[in-house]
A and B are shown apart, each in its own frame.
Chain A
Amino acid sequence: MAAQAAVSPQTMRAVRHSGAVPSSEFLLEIEGVRKEFPGVVALDDIRFTLKRGTVHALMGENGAGKSTLMKIIAGIYQPDAGSIKLKGLGIRLESPLDALENGIAMIHQELNLMSFMTVAENIWIRREPLNRLGLVDHARMHRMTQELFDRLNIDLDPDAEIGSLSVANRQMVEIAKAVSYESDVLIMDEPTSALTEREVAHLFQIIRDLRAQGIGIIYITHKMNELFEIADEFSVFRDGRFIATQPASAVTRDDIIKMMVGREITQMFPKEDVPIGEVVLSVKGLTLGSRFRDVSFDLRAGEILGVAGLVGSGRSNVAETLFGVTPATAGSIEVFGKQVTISSPYKALLLGMAFLTEDRKDTGCFLSLDVQENMQMAVLHENFVRAGFVSESAIATACEDMCGKLRVKTPGLGERIENLSGGNQQKVLVGRWLLTQPKILILDEPTRGIDVGAKAEIHRLVTELARTGVAVLMISSEMPEVLGMSDRIMVMHEGRVTGILDRSEADQVKIMDLAAK
């Protein structure tokens, strides 16, 4: 299936080193790439081209497939179908090292540097210059690093320890390292997310210099203004599909937003109008260090308050703080009209709150335990326990009923949860919290990574809960879900609430506008 004419990375490397680099207008040409993960098609029929000496921005909502495509280009994933041409020659990349040696370097969001080693050691790792005795020649390594930095106008000490550098400077080191591989293609994944304005300006200067040297740069960003400042071209992806590639000078901000979100809500969400009751949760000026600031909102019984925003906008942090996982540094929380301090999840639980976390594997499931053990864990604080002994038959009955209600597909309560599908795992976790009969339900990405059927069932369930008077706070990156399920939508951007929209006035463009200021 994969390109028949593809040369092996070894051949490509030999061609490159012989100096006979085939000339082509395009550094990268990608055709018909497809990538599936169990249960999800992450990319389908993707096209993408990168020209020499250009900055090409990649835009799209969370989950649009940008990162997956970049990981394919950088050799981290292998595509299921489609062809990749590097400078006109078809190529198969089998590992990140392959990609690197063929001139494709990726600068990851989470920087991959070793903090206890020096700048120079990090850059030349695996390629250290050796002296005649086969020992590392530190003086030469220092010199090589200095030359590299001079070329890039980076003012850093090659002998500084990485751990002592700021995030911005570490990023410079990453870039220098990428350039040191004589890379032709440089992939930057939201490089400015942790930088100050001055650092961004410096980064852009470096990017322009690299562009002038003929390097092609793929630049993933959520920030519209950066696109217009630095990009020559941009491509938009949506739901794993390629939408368009256009020159940046030809479009306006609104055009791009429409391309990013321009889809009809095709899924039906069983949202019902239910009577909205009293305010059950009132948050004022909630702040957590530098993660989010001054978050205020009211949540009423029976209401579903959607929370939209890009990844990193502080949405999940707000949820964690409300549930006492990371207690707030300032602000007040009132539950049923009473001022409360929520210093631990246990306290939140006693207040009638429940929290379905975003990451099923990391903070949700006990993978080595069975379905019942996973489901019962939050309810054992109060019920089903006498003198420390768990009433096995009562809890088993309760779990069995809950599994029936949520239509969990499992061979039995004794099945290990890791053998269930993602959707069924999620239902078990939902069940964990429903057993506690919560009054306030916080859902963080409740339908992430689960199939359409399970998704619809979770939506149905949330609606039913709202009807019984449960107040729901639902964080979601999926626009249709937020728009379809919510009574109101709170939008966050860089740790602040940028607006709260009513169901009647909310649409995708308005949300995206508030989320990508």
Chain B
Amino acid sequence: MSTQTTSSASAPIESIARARRWPQEVNILLVLLGIALLFELLGWFIQGQSFLFNYNRLQIMILQVAVIGIIAVGVTQVIITGGIDLSSGSVVAATAMIAASFAQSSDWARVIYPSLTDLPFFVPLAVGLGVGLIAGITNGALIAYTKIPPFIATLGMMVSARGISRWYTNGNPVSGFTDDFVLIGDGLGRWMPVVIFLAVALIFHIALRYTRYGKFTYAIGANQQAARVSGINIERHLVKVYAIAGLLAGLAGVVAIARIKTAQAGMGMMYELDAIAAAVIGGVSLAGGQGKITGAVIGALILGVMISGFTFLRVDAYYQDIIKGGIIVAAVVVDQYRQRRRKKS
């Protein structure tokens, strides 16, 4: 047999010709552009005006995307590990209520903590991030160490965090924020939430691509057993990932109240599902191990364009939801189809 016949010491990789694969995110971007152009056309035909070239509409659309987008960046990482986070919407509400109580101005009539008014903006911001972090760590620890399914752990958090947001002020809204704090949602000519969203997306895009944290995140989602045998501490890493998801939900809560200038216990309803939908539409596989932040960002934009487009065309809100549901399901069907085709090849 071949003992040592052809051992050219260190040959380069033996190549097999193969066409370069088209990055999946490009397809999703094309879908986004296609949808935008469709609305543009429909706009001229039906409304007699442009859909895209309208500064106000564009700004409102992107601002709506920003909050969901920040959550989606965290949820994407959770989904890449093969998990799910249902608690984000409730965590948004809980952090919003608690952070709001530290963001009030002394000239507001009904303040929660009269001795804690006019605090600098970073105090409520830190409080919000802290609350989100605690929720995330709780999720992660439950999942990693008690081995309960992520669905159940985060379902529990979803219910509890919503309860906390109601209990905190007995269901009363909190308003009267300092000018300082409001800038988090209103600064830079109202573009601040978008800047925060893009910064967060960039940071975690880099983290997933270029750091060990990212490599391990994909590894756990791709094959947890293999990851364990490769010496990865699965438990510790899962806590990190869920903690980040919680932290980002907290940030989203702070940004949301700074923008709308009031915090309510009922806010953030269904945000978790919008964030998951954004990730899934963006090609993040629910099976784990695959997906990119860029995909989730585009996915969030697709959702935003659709909602904004339907509103622009005066499509009834009920129809909007019906169509949105269909799109989410279609995205997963496409994902499944892709998985199956890959297995066959």
CB-defined contacts of B13 to chain A, threshold 8 Å: 400, 403-404, 408, 410, 412-413
Stretch at the interface among A44-52, A278-286, A377-385: A377-385
Partner of A385, one of B18, B212, B232: B212
Given known contacts A378-B231, A381-B231, A390-B211, is B222 in contact with A460 (CB within 8 Å)? no
Q: A344-B231, A348-B231, A404-B12 are in contact. List 8 more A-B contacts (CB 8 A).
A: A344-B233, A345-B231, A363-B226, A389-B212, A400-B13, A408-B13, A410-B14, A412-B13
Q: Is A185 positioned at the interface, with any CB of B under 8 Å from its CB?
A: no
In angstroms, how far is the closest chain B Cβ from the Cβ of A267?
6
Contact yes or no, A377 B210, CB < 8 A:
no
Contact yes or no, B289 A366, CB < 8 A:
yes
Q: Is B3 positioned at the interface, with any CB of A under 8 Å from its CB?
A: yes
CB-defined contacts of A385 to chain B, threshold 8 Å: 212
Q: Is A263 positioned at the interface, with any CB of B under 8 Å from its CB?
A: no
Report the separation of the CA atoms of residues A367 and B343 in the bound assembly, to the nearest whole angstrom. 10
Contact yes or no, B231 A408, CB < 8 A:
no
Q: List 13 A-B contacts (CB under 8 A).
A: A267-B1, A346-B231, A348-B231, A363-B225, A364-B229, A368-B289, A377-B226, A404-B13, A405-B10, A407-B14, A408-B13, A432-B230, A452-B1
Q: Is B228 positioned at the interface, with any CB of A under 8 Å from its CB?
A: yes
Contact yes or no, A323 B16, CB < 8 A:
no
CB-defined contacts of A377 to chain B, threshold 8 Å: 215, 219, 226-227, 230, 232
Q: Is B11 positioned at the interface, with any CB of A under 8 Å from its CB?
A: yes
- Produce 1/0 per residue, A407-420, CB < 8 A to B: 11111110100110
Q: Is A98 positioned at the interface, with any CB of B under 8 Å from its CB?
A: no
Report the separation of the CA atoms of residues A126 and B321 in the bound assembly, to the nearest whole angstrom. 41
Chain B contacts with A in 58-103, Cβ cutoff 8 A? none
Contact yes or no, A388 B229, CB < 8 A:
no
Report the separation of the CA atoms of residues A447 and B47 in the bound assembly, to the nearest whole angstrom. 68
CB-defined contacts of A96 to chain B, threshold 8 Å: none
CB-defined contacts of B223 to chain A, threshold 8 Å: 362-367
Report the separation of the CA atoms of residues A339 and B287 in the bound assembly, to the nearest whole angstrom. 41
CB-defined contacts of B16 to chain A, threshold 8 Å: 409-411
Chain B contacts with A in 218-264, Cβ cutoff 8 A? 218-219, 221-223, 225-233
Q: Is the interface of B mostly helix, strand, loop or mixed?
A: loop
Report the separation of the CA atoms of residues A390 and B212 in the bound assembly, to the nearest whole angstrom. 6
The 10 closest A-B pairs by CB, nearest first: A366-B222, A349-B231, A368-B289, A346-B231, A411-B18, A363-B225, A377-B230, A378-B230, A268-B1, A404-B10
Contact yes or no, A407 B11, CB < 8 A:
yes
Contact yes or no, B210 A404, CB < 8 A:
no
Report the separation of the CA atoms of residues A407 and B2 in the bound assembly, to the nearest whole angstrom. 13
Contact yes or no, A415 B232, CB < 8 A:
no
CB-defined contacts of B212 to chain A, threshold 8 Å: 380, 385, 388-390
Q: Is B17 positioned at the interface, with any CB of A under 8 Å from its CB?
A: yes
Contact yes or no, B226 A364, CB < 8 A:
yes
In angstroms, how far is the closest chain A Cβ from the Cβ of B291?
10
Report the separation of the CA atoms of residues A346 and B229 in the bound assembly, to the nearest whole angstrom. 8
Contact yes or no, B229 A355, CB < 8 A:
yes
> For residue A452, which residue of chain B has the nearest CB?
B1
Chain B contacts with A in 288-308, Cβ cutoff 8 A? 289-290
> For residue A387, which residue of chain B has the nearest CB?
B211
Interface size of B by Cβ–Cβ distance < 8 Å? 40
> For residue B287, which residue of chain A has the nearest CB?
A368
CB-defined contacts of B287 to chain A, threshold 8 Å: 368
CB-defined contacts of A362 to chain B, threshold 8 Å: 223, 225-226
- Produce 1/0 per residue, A352-368, CB < 8 A to B: 00010100001111111
Partner of A346, one of B1, B10, B233, B342: B233
Task: Spell out A's residues near B (CB within 8 Å).
Answer: 267-268, 270, 323, 325, 344-346, 348-349, 355, 357, 362-369, 373, 376-378, 380-381, 385, 388-390, 392, 400-401, 403-405, 407-413, 415, 418-419, 432, 452-453, 456-457, 460
Contact yes or no, B225 A457, CB < 8 A:
no
> For residue B288, which residue of chain A has the nearest CB?
A368
Report the separation of the CA atoms of residues A280 and B226 in the bound assembly, to the nearest whole angstrom. 26
In angstroms, how far is the closest chain B Cβ from the Cβ of A371?
9
Contact yes or no, A368 B290, CB < 8 A:
yes
Given known contacts A390-B210, A390-B212, A411-B16, is B229 in contact with A270 (CB within 8 Å)? no
CB-defined contacts of A412 to chain B, threshold 8 Å: 13, 15
Q: Is B170 positioned at the interface, with any CB of A under 8 Å from its CB?
A: no
CB-defined contacts of A411 to chain B, threshold 8 Å: 15-18
> For residue A407, which residue of chain B has the nearest CB?
B14
Report the separation of the CA atoms of residues A136 and B12 in the bound assembly, to the nearest whole angstrom. 67
- Produce 1/0 per residue, B157-194, CB < 8 A to A: 00000000000000000000000000000000000000
Q: Is B345 positioned at the interface, with any CB of A under 8 Å from its CB?
A: yes
Q: Is B213 positioned at the interface, with any CB of A under 8 Å from its CB?
A: yes
CB-defined contacts of B1 to chain A, threshold 8 Å: 267-268, 452, 456
Contact yes or no, A373 B213, CB < 8 A:
no
